[in-house]
Amino acid sequence: MAKLAVLLTLLALVGSVTCQGYTGNASPPTPITYPSPPSLSPSTPPTYPPPSSTPPSPAPVSPSPPTTYPPQSTTPPNPAPTGPSPPAPGLRVGYYSSSCPKAEQIVKDTVKNAVYANRGIGAGLVRLFFHDCFVEGCDASVLLDPTTANSRPEKLGVPNFPSLRGFEVIDAAKAALESACPGVVSCADVVAFAGRDAAYFLSNANIDFAMPAGRYDGRVSLADETLTNLPSPFAGLDQLKKNFADKGLDADDMVTLSGAHSIGVSHCSSFSDRLASTTSDMDAALKANLTRACNRTGDPTVVQDLKTPDKLDNQYYRNVLSRDVLFTSDAALRSSETGFSVFLNVVIPGRWESKFAAAMVKMGGIGIKTSANGEIRKNCRLVN
């Protein structure tokens, strides 16, 4: 009977959570446009390829969450992790404590100035770290500019251009580091520190953790590798799980890192399939507002979270439950496999923030380069 009571309480909480979603009374979000990297503007906005999977199932008549919450297991959920995962081999916290003692503070000060001036740039720095690590590993390959030898590096790949931003913040931090301790701090570590620090400021210091360092910068950067490695906004759950598993990350990491969608903006082309579909499960009022906002020339942008667009918080998970999310990949998290984790991130204070810190550290260990296959760049945009 006790287990049944717990189950009924949790289901009641799910219902109360979904009531806090978007009501459709707000005005369409004002699109926000951020500058593209200098001298790289394309003639037309890129679009993602259409999804290859079958269309999503029609939305159920009732707006309540799936009846599979909670999962089949009747054991109480484990508490949130107490700290980040152990660092990847070769990385350690305080890596520059002797060689460049002020390294992390220099990056943090640079990021603080940028985020306070434009919180959208902070969202870009978190995304920059993610997009760097998923292609060629966490090696700053996403920072490399086109050259005669390589006319199409990662930053020109469809998922990255023109939406990826924050490059100028990395440049500023690297310049300050080269002045303080030349040739010591890798660009890959600058990207990792910047992603960590942006999360700290965007969350009002609720996401606060140590980032291991010791990465080297890679020399390979290919635009053609971006679509095959970066999760698509059109992806369903199985494809998302595969994308993350290929990088050594599990489904829980996927749910956790998706919470970064609680801040920043998205191009309309990234969720146009959901607006055009008659079977999309997107909230009807949100769909109507987005259709109006996206019905303009070019590829407009809209905020990803209508409730707390300038704060990195767990509001994203409330939006998932109430169908107030943009992407097919966001909606996929309502599945019976991942929906309970979404629910727990809503109802347990601090759970998601702690898990996000751990997932950022874990992601930061993907594909680490060493002195044997990497370098410490003098300029983050060019190999030495």
- For residue 313 the two structure tokens come to 């918080």
Catalytic residues: 131
For residue 361, is it left (φ>0), alpha (ψ between -120 and 50) or beta?
A: alpha
267 is in an annotated binding site: no
Q: Are 327 and 271 in contact (CB under 8 A)?
A: yes
Ligand-binding annotation for 147, yes or no, is no
Report whether 197 belongs to an annotated binding site.
Answer: no
Residue 374 labelled as part of a binding site: no
208 is in an annotated binding site: no
- Contacts with 186 (C-beta within 8 Å, 6 or more apart), sequence order: 140, 215, 216, 217, 374, 376, 377
Residue 277 has which token pair?
A: 């579909």
**Would the annotation count 305 as a binding residue?**
yes
139 labelled as ligand-binding?
A: yes
Q: Is 261 annotated as a binding residue?
A: yes
324 is in an annotated binding site: no
Q: Which residues are annotated as a binding site?
A: 132, 135, 137, 139, 141, 154, 231, 261, 305, 308, 313
Pick out the residues of the known binding site for substrate.
231
Annotated binding site for heme b: 261
Residue numbering of the annotated binding site for Ca(2+): 132, 135, 137, 139, 141, 154, 305, 308, 313
